[in-house]
Amino acid sequence: MRLKRGEGDGKHIGAYEIAIVRLEKVLLESSHVVKRLESKLESLQLVKYNLNIDMMKRDEALKEKKAQLEGEAGKSVQGIDIYNVLDEERSTMQNMEDLLHQGDFTEESDAFANEQASKLNSLRTMVNESESLCGNARKRFR
């Protein structure tokens, strides 16, 4: 009977060894999972660090831009007032129109105006002839 008991104990010892091997395998897999999670945690911490650096740089850039805009705003108040410039330009144009309507045109200016009118008429005639020729050419190709 002792042989049978010994054989039974051997079966129990084999079962325990199998259970221990399974536990070791699970622990090994768990350690691999933990290592992967640790590496992911490190990469996330690196990303967080880089984002913090980017935020600080952005904040510094915003402060610089804000200071620059405030400086420019102070200069523009002291600088040229655009409405005054536009008013001056309007008055200058009004003065030029008044001068044109005041003076009588000389014979030279009348001759120049007539010459330009005749050139304009001849240009219109050439354009009309050109359009009619192109229209005839289109009809032929259709």
C-beta neighbour count of 119 within 10 angstroms: 10
d(CA 23, CA 50): 40
Q: For the residues of 80-136, what is the DSSP string, one character each? A: --HHHHHHHHHHHHHHHHHHHHHSPPPHHHHHHHHHHHHHHHHHHHHHHHHHHHHHH
Identify which has the larger pLDDT, 97 or 3: 97
Query: What predicted TM-score, i.e. pTM, was given to this entire model?
Result: 0.38
pLDDT of residue 101: 65
State pLDDT tens for residues 82-115.
777 777 888 887 777 776 666 666 777 778 778 8
Q: Label residues 99-118 b or e (16+ Cβ within 10 Å = b).
A: eeeeeeeeeeeeeeeeeeee
| DSSP state at residue 137 | H
